Amino acid sequence: MAKTLIIAEKPSVAADIVKALPGSFDRQKTHFEGGDCIVSFALGHLVSIGFPEEIDPALQRWDLETLPILPEVFPLTVLPDAKPQFSVLSKLLKRKDVDVIVNACDAGREGELIFKYILKQVFPKPPKDKTVRRLWLQSMTLDAIKEGLRHLRDDKEMVPLEHAALCRSEADWLIGINATRALTCYNSRHGGFSKTPCGRVQTPTLSLLVKREQERLAFVPKDYWELHAQFECGSVKYQGVWIDAAFKKDQEDPDGNKKRIWEEARAKAIAEKCAGQQAKISEESKKSSQAPPMLYDLTALQREANSRFGFPAKSTLSIAQALYEQHKLITYPRTDSSCLPEDYLPQVNEVMARQQQWQLGRFAAEALENGWPDKNRSNKRVFNNKKISDHFALIPTVNLPNSLDEAELKIYQMIVQRFLAVFFPAAVFAQTRRLSVVEGETFITEGKILVEAGWKAVYGAEAAAGEAKTLEPLPKKTAAVCAEIEQKKLVTKPPPRYNEATLLSAMEHSGKLVEDEELAEAMKERGLGTPATRAAIIEKLLTEKYVVRELKDLVPTGKAFELIALLEARDIDVLASPELTGEWEYKLNQILKGSMTREQFMREIREQTAKIVGKVKEGTAPEAARVEAPFSPLDGRRFFATATAYESEDRRLRVRKVLGGRVMSQEEIVRLLKGETVGPYADFRSKAGKPFIASVVLQDGKVTFQFPESTERIDQEAVKRQEPLGLSPIDKTPVFETSMAYMSASALDGDQKQGLRIGKTILERAISVEHVRQLLTQGKTELIKGFISKKKRPFDAYLLMDAKGKVTFEFPPRKTKGKGGEEAE
């Protein structure tokens, strides 16, 4: 009897398909078998393109001479952990009674690739006695599976999708393998093995982080002042902030803001002019509305879960996958769409009806009672076929939870809240803007009151209350007076580092960074990576030590700076640009539409790969990429700059621009070359990504780290010939400056109990010679600005030292407001 073999992507999906099929099934460990149907599963990717050495054993050795590697036929290999299940599928596929094979892997490019690679590995040539069909599922409800089984697609319909999937996979292999090997060989040419992973998605993502960090390093803070006035009108008091009424935003001045005053003298003059004077008041009020947010796609869910709960993107994906596969509580999570199909209203009403029985049931009941889902049937922000590619938005199913752990419950509640909120009316606000003009100077006061909660009600009283900023009405015919003004001295801040939430958003919208309109349009649907892969890309950057986590922030390491600098120097920075992905997506879409062939696409990728390798090889030539350093000549010697280092004309002396994972400034490099000890710095990083404190010095032509606890390299006689900075309060021995710390003579002699030792860096703030003199003579320093707490928050403090040599902090008293903006302590 002929049988149909259905291959799902995961065991849980296979089990769901069995439930939707008629008849009984014999359940085995690796598959289900019924009278005329067998259902089995992959475990995600079972087969992938093999490594170069599987093409030719000689390619096991990484050598520039063997590049580029451009196979016409890509060898497939079974992944090591997948061999048992692949063996099962191979036997099932080859069974003589199986005449129909159904691809039931996830609907989309990646699901197509998983199935077709399995099929190609089992049947190098397409079998003539078997027919291939496609089960296309966008929801895992029983009805959706039954509907999909009734309307299986012909495999010929899937050929464009298969070609696009194969092209994407093979192109990633060609670029990734060749670029990684070429750059690794380049970076290892002076000895050792400096692995330099590089890829189409991970490298542009890394470039976003590096460019943001470069902006922060180049940022010069500027002082500015704000004027905060207190007004009195009869019994009513209110605050106002000074604004420049004539201010216009200038793209050339990103720090410009209508509330900022850049000269202290001007701020003081305005404060003195306005204090105690009457104000002319004008007010305008208007209503505004805020539409509900869109339904979740995976990236939006990961972004918000990171912001609200600190969940890494990888964890959110894992939780959502469990809610989908194990608990059957949500639709397919790996989606890039925030809309539903235009015929999905009946399912929405069914889910809404079921939600009446859960925690947020009163909101579901209210939505149904008012017919809000039906009223939204033509709302393109909710139901829009044009905004759906492989999968639709992430929403709850008709099932309700029984037992979820805390993390699962948080993610599920987020999805239910968003689903309900989308069908609620807009939130309505009353906004009031009050202008108080004093002596020609304008102060603004703004109020915002939530009039109708609308969709915000679903998020509870706290969300609604957070919007409220009421303005008390002013009594009529009563003069308003500017009672006092506080001058606030502030400082501009550098752009913030990326965290997972903001990086996910930047990856999703990276098409905005692409100038070519067609390429940007092609990236609208995908951005850098896919919703399913973005979390893995971030984790890979962390694993490869290109990035480290500092609390919630993602910080690029020196290794990352070196890679981006090298790509720019070799003129292959296309690898760090989202334009490469934009170009690919544009062309893969052309393949889907039939306006470009698979052969054309791969020919272009091979040419691009060869060009990238050629650029790297050019960099190994003796004369390549050497320009005279800006500080050359130095002490009579000429120095040259390469992408990653400074080196002498004869190449015998070479100092990397990144030392110990730290980007060294040009001034620090010059000091090193002059023979000075530089540091200590607290932001060096080990190969494992852990920070450490050290100084660096050139010894015998090589850079050497000196650690704070290391005193054996200190020339004690030379140190003690210096003029002392003062006397130690512990034993009255003189205190000297060393390369690593400020140390008393007794500490230099090795006395651990009586010796005084003060680090040159305390909480990331350099401690100067003058600070130490103040401690030794007065027991207290001047106010030192710019300490960084363990929670990475900046603060200012005095340093104190007691008779036992213990150094502590004293914080300045809080400033109080005085008349006319004067500060009193």
Backbone angles phi, psi at 592, to 5 degrees: -60, -35
Q: Output the CA–CA distances (angstroms, integers) from residue 503 to 150, 199, 498, in the order listed.
A: 42, 17, 6
List beta partners, residue 637. 634
At 453, give phi and psi (nearest 5°).
-65, -35
Residues whose CB falls within 8 Å of the CB of residue 553, separated by 6 or more in sequence, listed in order: 496, 497, 498, 499, 792
Structure-token match 């920070």, residue found: 691
Integer Cα distance of 179 and 734 in angstroms: 57
Phi, psi (degrees; rounded to nearest 5) at 193? -135, 105
- For residue 441, CA distances in Å to 216, 229, 246, 260, 280 come to 34, 11, 11, 13, 10
3-state secondary structure of 368: helix
Residue listed under structure tokens 């019994």: 235
Kind of pairing between the strands at 3-8 and 37-41: parallel
The answer to whether 684 touches 694, Cβ cutoff 8 Å, is yes
**What DSSP element (H or E) covers 281?**
strand 278-290
Rg (CA), the chain: 33
CB half-sphere exposure, 424, CA atoms < 13 A: 26
Is 332 among the catalytic positions? yes
- Give residue for tokens 């007794």: 746
User: Distance of alpha carbon 307 from its chain centroid, rounded?
Assistant: 12
Do 596 and 587 touch, CB atoms closer than 8 A?
A: yes
Cα atoms found within 13 Å of the Cα of residue 468, Cβ hemisphere only: 10
**Nearest to 755, CA basis, from 728, 776, 779:** 728
**Residue among 117, 238, 296, 332 flagged as catalytic:** 332
Beta carbons of 423 and 373 less than 8 angstroms apart: yes
Which residue from 678, 669, 659 is spatially nearest to 634, judged by alpha carbons? 669
Q: CA–CA separation, 90 vs 104, rounded Å?
A: 16
CA 191: distance to chain centroid?
A: 33
CA–CA separation, 404 and 322 (whole Å): 10
The amino acid that residue 69 corresponds to is I
Q: Which residues are catalytic?
A: 332
